[in-house]
Amino acid sequence: MVPGERAIIELLRADPRRIEALYLLEGRSAPPVEELAAAVGVAIQRVHEERLATFVAPALARGMVAVAAPPREWTVEELLDLPQREGARQVLVAADGVQDPHNLGAILRSAEFFGAAGALWPRDRAVGLTPAAIRSSAGASERLPLARVTNLARALDVCKDAGFWVLGTVVDGGRALGEICAETLPDRLVLVLGSEERGIRRLTRERCDFLATIPRRGAIGSLNVSTAAAVALAAVCA
């Protein structure tokens, strides 16, 4: 399920062939969606609120939902083979056990916004690409190459063997992020973000070539993982 206007617009732009049905709440006007759907030949079905609620919660749908096949699932090897943009660092984002779908979606949104090449995260003990994650990504889940892996530590080994360096983010104990970025960072980098409660797991941490901490000036102990992702991506993708 792809709920919400922004996510549906990106789906219509990126891969309308995946759409099996597109539902719009009766009386709801959404010119961008309607125009795009007409342009790519996707029919819109007008339905009552009760019918729309059988797909996803109204708060997620916000008046529209697309029933669609899931996006293509990439392998780690395919992510590593993506072409590097000229003059830009090639950055992959690895989420180590993120549990909240809104956090995952926001991480993907930041990753796409700052120009990351792709994202990966484990299949087990981590949230999947749920409707809430898709909506929170604001369409990034339709644009960004995504890979779910059986074992994140092994996937990072594959990345390192291909010439990528691994930068892990930690609440405490790492070098200041700005300090690390002021040096010459490798052109190919995996940025690792930990889970909401436990951070980066031990085996993941052992694969990190650098550990970075975002310096704090206030009394709050840490940032939400999706906010930390945005800060770190702004730094390493600059």
pTM here? 0.91
Cβ proximity of 89 and 116 under 8 Å: no
pLDDT in tens, 77-99: 999 999 888 878 999 999 999 99
pLDDT of residue 85: 82
Contacts 24+ apart (CB under 8 A), 31-36: 32/5, 33/5, 33/8, 33/9, 33/64, 36/9, 36/12
DSSP state of 222: -
Q: What angle do CA 101, 5, 82 make, to 5 degrees?
A: 60
Is residue 216 scored above 90 in pLDDT?
Answer: no
Binned at pLDDT 50, 70 and 90, residue 223 comes out as confident
Other beta carbons within 10 angstroms of residue 72's beta carbon come to: 11
Q: Which residues of 84-110 are buried (b: 16+ CB within 10 A; e: fewer)?
A: eeeeebbbbbbbbbbebbbbbbbbbbb
**Bridge partners (DSSP) listed for residue 195:** 199
Tell whether the model's pLDDT for residue 164 goes beyond 80. yes
Find, among 148, 142, 156, the residue nearest to 203 by Cα. 156
Q: Give residue 183's pLDDT.
A: 84
Mean pLDDT of 96-106: 96
Domains of the chain: 2-68 (3.30.1330.30), 76-236 (3.40.1280.10)
**What whole-number percentage of the chain has pLDDT above 90?**
82
Segment 52-71 shows an average pLDDT of: 92
How much is the CA Rg of the chain, to the nearest whole Å?
19
Mean pLDDT of the chain: 93
